[in-house]
Amino acid sequence: MLTKGWNDFQKGVEVKANDFSNDVTVCYNGLLAKSGADQVYLHYGYGDRWMDTHTEKMNKTLRGWEKNIRMKNDKINFCFKDSANNWDNNNGNNWIIR
**20-79, pLDDT tens digit by residue?**
788 999 999 999 999 999 999 999 999 988 999 999 999 999 999 999 999 887 899 999
Q: Is residue 13 very low, low, confident or very high in pLDDT (cuts 50, 70, 90)?
A: very high
Judged by DSSP in three states, 10 sits in helix
CA dihedral sign, ordered 46, 47, 48, 51: negative
Q: How confident is the model at residue 6 (pLDDT cuts 50, 70, 90)?
A: confident
Give the distance, in angstroms, between the CA of residue 69 and the centroid of all CA atoms in the same chain: 9
- Single out the residue of 68, 63, 57, 89 nearest to residue 21, CA to CA: 68
Distance CA 42, CA 85 (A): 12
* Domains: count for the chain: 1
Tell me the residue range of the domain where 39 lies.
5-97
Q: Which residues of 8-19 are buried (b: 16+ CB within 10 A; e: fewer)?
A: eeeebbbbbbee
Is the pLDDT confidence value at 90 over 90?
Answer: yes
Instruction: Please check whether residue 32 is in contact with residue 86, taking contact to mean a CB–CB distance below 8 angstroms.
Output: yes
CATH number, domain containing residue 65: 2.60.40
* CA separation, residue 60 to residues 26, 48, 80 (Å): 12, 29, 14
Average pLDDT over residues 4-8: 83
Q: What pLDDT score does 5 carry?
A: 82
